[in-house]
Structure 1
Amino acid sequence: MIPDLPPGAVAVVFHSVRHPAAEGYAEMAEAMDVLAAQQPGFLGIRSVRDEQTGQGISVSYWLDDDSARSWKAVAEHLEAQRRGREEWYAEYDVIVAEVIRAYSRP
């Protein structure tokens, strides 16, 4: 389930294709999820990855764009971004979007 999202919330969609040999990736991804959850304005995150193709998508939810931008600038996250570019990802893209509406069903 997605978290309750207030008006003006932001979704950061991160799509990637990971290299097969991505040493240290799983540990870093877990650490980033824990660290993100400690940031002001963090509302939640959902991630999935197809281990056969290496394609993955993570959607993190933030109170506002300032919160999302602040997360992007956290030192440990900057290091994870660097390693992603240099070691782990064959390709990636990021979309930052304002949430217009959200709803869920169990």
Structure 2
Amino acid sequence: MSNDTAGIVGDTVPPYYAAILTTVLATDPEDLAGYDAASERMLDLARSMDGYLGLEYARADGVGVAVSYWRDLDALRAWREHAEHLGVQLLGRQRFYRAYRARICRVEREYAWRRGDPLGAPPYR
């Protein structure tokens, strides 16, 4: 499946890993100073990492969910332990977030559907 639906990661073949980060942003604008720049930098950095497969995210009312996809646990571990990422993680705990939860999952199976596909057809993959 190609990534022709904006916001949905495609071209993944299980098994692979997903890191799910659910966050609640701080409410004080001073605490959020630099958050957008740090987020953009982390996305650029993740994209440069060996084993990075993609990112899906959504945010509403101060709550965000980001799911990053990784080839294997070694790639995910390298991301978690990257020095610059560790620094931003600390800023997240000190300022950016009121709370967060991270979950690591192994993706065993996936399937997809797109508008225009026959409604009675089984999802592909």
Is TM-score (shorter-chain normalized) higher than 0.5?
yes
Q: TM-score, normalised by structure 1?
A: 0.92
Deviation at 1:48, TM superposition (A): 1.1
Number of paired residues?
A: 104
- 1:36 maps to 46
**How far off its partner does 1:100 sit?**
1.3
SS at match of 2:109: coil
Matched-pair contact (CA < 8 Å) for 2:23–2:101: yes
> Once superposed, what is the RMSD of the aligned Cα atoms?
1.0
Aligned counterparts of 1:56 and 1:41: Cα–Cα separation in 2: 24
TM-score by length of 2: 0.79
Name the residue aligned to 1:49: 59
Between 82-91 and 20-29, report the one with greater CA deviation: 20-29
Gaps of 5+ in 2: 1-7, 115-125
Could you say which residue in structure 2 is the equivalent of 1:24? Answer: 34
C-alpha separation in 2, matches of 1:93 and 1:28: 19
Separation of aligned partners in 1, 2:15 and 2:24:
29
Which protein is richer in helix relative to its size? 1
Is residue 2:94 matched to residue 1:81? no
Flag the structure with larger Rg. 2
- CA drift at 1:37: 0.4
Q: Any unmatched runs of 5+ in structure 1?
A: none
Identity of aligned residues (%): 35
